[in-house]
Chain A
């Protein structure tokens, strides 16, 4: 099938690549993106493990191409992977398709709002069907998630569109345990509901962890026991110094906005606000340890991306922590296996920031190490060597990743999140 993808987000590139990989002829219209920029420079592609290689491969084999300005595209399937705030662009695509007159299938993957797909259908008119398929993209695992989904939700309002949609997705649905069909409105709501639920869980466990800090309870023990209860389960139950990322954050914000508009107040609004506070947790622990006297201190930051497996620093706690540190006149040595390029773009050459290629060089002469992202490389440090390198052996572990007992045994002051 000929498929045209609209968008320049990670979702757009993942969909384009995977659909090409299974044999569709795919054109990607980057809309607000720059279609002249070299693929190797597109950061959403570079940040996602494995994606760059796959995109280049599909382009080389001729199944994936980039739409250049005003070039004509004829496609049977139009796939919308735009940002949550780009609904107007989607409307414009619908207008163009309606004027073209050909009968098309439109797959909407955008998280605009509940009822947006119905609106797009109205704009498109009778010349085609618009269906909604929520994107379940997990940054860092995006390709795998698209190629081998564990479940797919489809929001389809007209029976006739069901078979067409299944035909497009046929390559991904063969091993599928679970395909759920519902109205587009219900599917849109489900997408928001799932995202919100995950945010609530993280918010709740963070709140418990902060309380555990005050009550001398180890949250890891509590968390394991909670997770063992089948009614709760262990996913999204790790306390930490805040969630970030482009998509997750944006969806939660969007959903919170909807809830607030319709119901005046929202649990999620509190979760978002508390998450912003949580992002500065490591800074506060450092501040309290040094009683507010931070000027002139040197601190190593381990990890800057919002989660391991990606170089993205969108809404990452590291940004808030670095901002707070440099405002207090603290020298920051930051290490991250993937994100240094983005950090340099964000801060430039700053007198208080050193970008370290090596996580051990970063800790030399420091008054604390702040572990922000749980990259595997930080998991089992040589504590004896660390002690020797640092000026003050203080570990502040924002992901409860380090071995607290080992650290203490080697003379560290260890501060975790709730332990």
Chain B
């Protein structure tokens, strides 16, 4: 097990020394700590100088990566080997963003070519919709697209659309894009009364096309269209539904004709799928050209990750420092704090990417592991979170590591007021990371303050700075986190590409649904039984 290898043990004893050193004491006036611990590539800066690390820490972490065979794993990932061993699949999200003329043969199949063919079909649909030539049941052009999906089929596209909205060209601004996920229909209930059925198109995104949440919403949407149009179900399926799926047969059974299907493959994990045709809402929102730029940005990050020595490799360093925090400094909470409202959906996206990938406790050999893996991860736009949970970061009892994410430049062609707001936001971002690191001594006056005004500091943070937020840098940022998660999984010897922990709940839910419908009184635990009885009694009373 990794926890018994030499590099791990070496880090443990190094950590014992480091535990007692306050972060502020790592800053020496004579040394350029920022210069030593910040790394840049292209449009990205990764600043680790507010982490509790020294040169020695980094070299020991790099040794750990080497001993865990990271280089070999990286080439396996990119070559399409079955790195998802529990499901015997490759994890080829990097192939989704290969340049148009690239080739990548896996099992004698050129997957790069398949990817381009799929993107080409998507391109055709996108143009038809954007040029207002996709027609609804009465011949009116589609003006509103509702994307139905959940988890990976929703979080990535929603995040990208929110982040890149400013790149929507004037010619496609007439098109509204909405997202619907929740199983209980709350979003549809609110949305549908404001939409015109004749001009609304639904994208149903589900890799398996059996996802209960998604199909429940899709059925509600179709019924809404049928009632409003008085048309046949066939006509509605033809003109109001696009399926994004790896199971064309299932989509066809539900009713989406082949011409309205966009395909992906089982080697695209849901939480890694925004680069595929799952990204259709993104392409509709910002145009195919910008979508391709997003792919190009991610591809540049892929190449950086694959080809750069680990000591300058942004995803590798990001991952190793988090391993240091989790496994050696015992920090088990991770806050994602973008200081940019456009990245408001990034925390929710990373919650899935990191926790669904690395929330595991069984290693690749099937053994239970005895070290920590993925921490609890959450976040919010930093400036809003300052008014919410920063209190805990500054004065609580939990050690928390933070990622501060921002763009150096914004509003270049806007008025002074907005530029000033950007400066304000940057100032707050830098202030918070500084205060979290240094603590109360940040204040000029050294006079003794009362305890409740005391700031301990010593909270580690990473700052990720983009030059500007563009489709390209956005793509690179997300790819960086994807690879970071992969590197962590290699260190922890776990499979980041499966998610068995979300399967059982679906099965239990379907048996409980039967229970709610017909009350078959299966033998359940007393708590669940009690709750079921309570619901039923309330519902019966409601009816009478």
A: residues with CB less than 8 A from B are 277, 280, 283-288, 291-292, 323-324, 327-328
Contacts and interface: CB of A to CB of B under 8 A. Distances in A.
Contacts of A291: 231, 235
A292 B133 contact: no
| Contact size range, B | 10 to 19
B239 interface: yes
A327 B140 CA distance: 13
A327 B128 contact: yes
Contacts of B138: 284, 287-288
A223 B239 CA distance: 36
Contacts of A277: 140
A284 B235 CA distance: 15
Contact of B135 (A285, A287, A323): A287
Interface of B: 128, 131, 133, 135, 137-141, 231, 235, 238-239
A291 B131 CA distance: 21
Nearest to B137: A292
With a 10 A CB-CB cut-off, give which of A280, A288, A323, A327 has the most chain B CB atoms.
A327
Contacts of B231: 291
A149 B240 CA distance: 53
Given A283-B139, A284-B139, A288-B139, A323 B133 contact: yes
B435 to A, nearest CB: 44
A206 to B, nearest CB: 15
A291 B239 CA distance: 11
25 contacts: A277-B140, A280-B139, A280-B140, A280-B141, A283-B139, A284-B139, A284-B140, A285-B139, A286-B139, A287-B135, A287-B138, A288-B138, A288-B139, A292-B135, A292-B137, A292-B139, A292-B235, A292-B238, A292-B239, A323-B133, A324-B133, A324-B135, A327-B131, A327-B133, A328-B133
A284 B133 CA distance: 12
A292 B257 CA distance: 15
B45 to A, nearest CB: 42
A328 B135 contact: yes
> Which 6 A-B residue pairs are closest in the complex by CB-CB distance?
A287-B139, A284-B139, A327-B133, A292-B239, A288-B138, A292-B235
Nearest to A284: B139
A377 to B, nearest CB: 28
Nearest to B239: A292
Contacts of B235: 291-292
Contacts of B133: 323-324, 327-328
Contacts of B135: 287, 292, 324, 328
A280 B133 CA distance: 11
B260 to A, nearest CB: 13
Nearest to B198: A284
- Interface-centre pick from B139, B231, B238, B239 (highest chain A CB count, 10 A): B139
A322 to B, nearest CB: 12
Given A287-B139, A292-B139, 19 more contacts: A280-B140, A280-B141, A283-B139, A284-B138, A284-B140, A285-B139, A286-B139, A287-B135, A287-B138, A288-B138, A288-B139, A291-B235, A292-B137, A292-B238, A323-B133, A324-B135, A327-B128, A327-B131, A328-B135
A323 B135 CA distance: 13
Nearest to A324: B133
